[in-house]
Amino acid sequence: MRYTTMDTPIGELTLIGDEDALTGVFMGPTPVDPSWTHDPAQLAEAVTQFEQYFAGERTEFDLPLAPRGTEFQHRVWGMLREIPYGETTTYGALAIRLGNPRTVRAVGLANGRNPLPIIVPCHRVIGADGSLVGFGGGLERKRALLAHEAEVREGFRSTLW
């Protein structure tokens, strides 16, 4: 595995990938596995796209991705990628789209195990009552990402970058 780190308005990101695709994005200081190779060149396009996202110049990522997870998790993560930039949905709405409203807890767990936050926008999922809940990067980061997207969508220059 290859990795690089980058500073962003929401703190440090560690990007991890193999020769073909991005496999993980971690927020905040991340312990580096000794088997990983620091390789900024391999992940340069991902860094560029994150910089564009935070500058308000990119609303969708176009990177080869290889998240590891179960078939169910991949279904949920695919649905997350369909949530429009600057919009939100709920765990319950995702469960209904999957065809079973009782899977809401499983949807929440899959959302929480998303290895590619921001790119697979789990931050766009909120509680049924509209509250900000459940984000591995912390609620302050979730709030900042949603505010950033709202500003960009409304045509304002983002205050993040």
Mean pLDDT value of segment 117-128: 95
Tell me: pLDDT of 33 over 60.
yes
> Of the given ranges (31-45, 72-86, 134-148), which has the lowest mean pLDDT?
134-148
Q: What is the pLDDT of residues 56-80, one digit of tens each?
A: 999 999 999 999 999 999 999 999 9
The three-state secondary structure class of 18 is coil
Which tokens belong to 117? Answer: 């936050």
Name the band, by pLDDT with cuts 50, 70 and 90, for residue 137. Answer: confident
Proportion of the chain above pLDDT 90, given as a percent: 84
Burial class (CB in 10 A: 0-12, 13-18, 19+), 99: exposed
Name the band, by pLDDT with cuts 50, 70 and 90, for residue 134. Answer: confident
Q: How many CA atoms lie within 13 A of 156 on its CB side?
A: 11
Which tokens belong to 135? Answer: 């984000």
Q: What is the structure's pLDDT at 154?
A: 87
Beta bridge partners of 65: 22
Q: What is the structure's pLDDT at 73?
A: 97
Name the band, by pLDDT with cuts 50, 70 and 90, for residue 131. Answer: confident
Domain 2-54 shares a fold with domain 71-153: no
Q: What is the structure's pLDDT at 158?
A: 52
DSSP 8-state class, residue 123:
G
Name the band, by pLDDT with cuts 50, 70 and 90, for residue 161. Answer: very low
The domain locations on the chain are: 2-54, 71-153
**81 part of the active site:** no
Which of these is catalytic: 46, 107, 122, 125? 122
Query: What is the domain class of 2-54 according to CATH?
Result: alpha beta
CATH number of 71-153: 1.10.10.10
